[in-house]
Amino acid sequence: MLKKLFAYFQYILPQHLLTKLFARLGQVSTPWVKNNLIHSFVKYYQVDLNEAVIEDVTNYPTFNDFFIRHLKPTCRPINHDDSFVVSPVDGTIAQGGKIRKNQLLQAKGHSFSLEALLAHAKTAALFENGEYETFYLAPRNYHRVHMPFSGKLLSATYIPGRLFSVNKITAEIIPDLYARNERLVMLFETELGPMAIVMVGALIVGGMQTIWMNRPVKYTSIQELLIPTNLVLNKGDELGYFIVGSTVLLLFGPQTIHWDPETPRSIHFGQKIATKIISLH
């Protein structure tokens, strides 16, 4: 009962207003404000700052700078074997497997459509009967997103939407959660064919930003974003980041990869998650 109340309460929350307020708080540079925020966050969520390039919280200009902190390269070795796909993020694998009848599993008893997620019928057709994996990023996690496999960026589409919290409770109760929240869909051409990376926003997520944009993306309607010409990113290269939490979905076409059954649910960026079956180029 409490879980349902928590989930349903989010329908009446002023989601975008709360998110804007939190984003502004995260930009405050007043030392006693931002230092207390960061100290409290680190203590509550047990963040391991030994992995961070900047270990002293007082050296971060703002809370947001702390949240999108860089890690020491030695903390996340990347599996560079060309036959492997690696995790794009630090987080938990929430769901994954084959896309059946154009449906992706959200939680037990809940699924959502591929076309609703991508908001584009032609793009969705590329992944019919394909493969997907959903990664949940907890507040304590590293929040930068990296390339799981080398590829050329073909398009980037911003889709506005709600900002429901994303967690186990909301995934089990709120229908079409990932297809209702705001999101950024990036389509790549790889030697395996098409690959999509979807960054999903959530309550108090201050923004989603890519390496080629100079500010977080935010529009009131679906937008095809301007992208650099011939942008090729290698496996492990940084793609973008979340300013506070959420979810990443990774999609491949049919009969291209095999998910590694030994992959742990809790995973680090750079770890092997799948093996390629074919190469189309």
Q: Which residues are catalytic?
A: 90, 146, 246
| Alpha-helical runs (H) found in 13-157 | 15-26, 31-45, 63-67, 114-118, 121-125
CA distance 233 to 246: 23
221: DSSP letter: S
Please report, to the nearest 10 degrees, the dihedral formed by the alpha carbons of residues 27, 32, 36, 39 taken in order.
Answer: 90
Task: Tell me if residue 177 falls in helix, strand or coil.
Answer: helix
71 residue type, one letter = L
Half-sphere exposure of 270 (CA within 13 A, CB side): 14
Gap between the Cα atoms of 207 and 213, Å rounded: 12
CA dist 89 and 242 (Å) reads: 11
Q: Are 199 and 132 a contacting pair, CB within 8 Å?
A: no
CA angle at 191 for the pair 99 and 117, rounded to the nearest 5°:
30
CA angle 14, 20, 25 (to 5 degrees): 125
Contact 206, 64 (CB under 8 A): yes
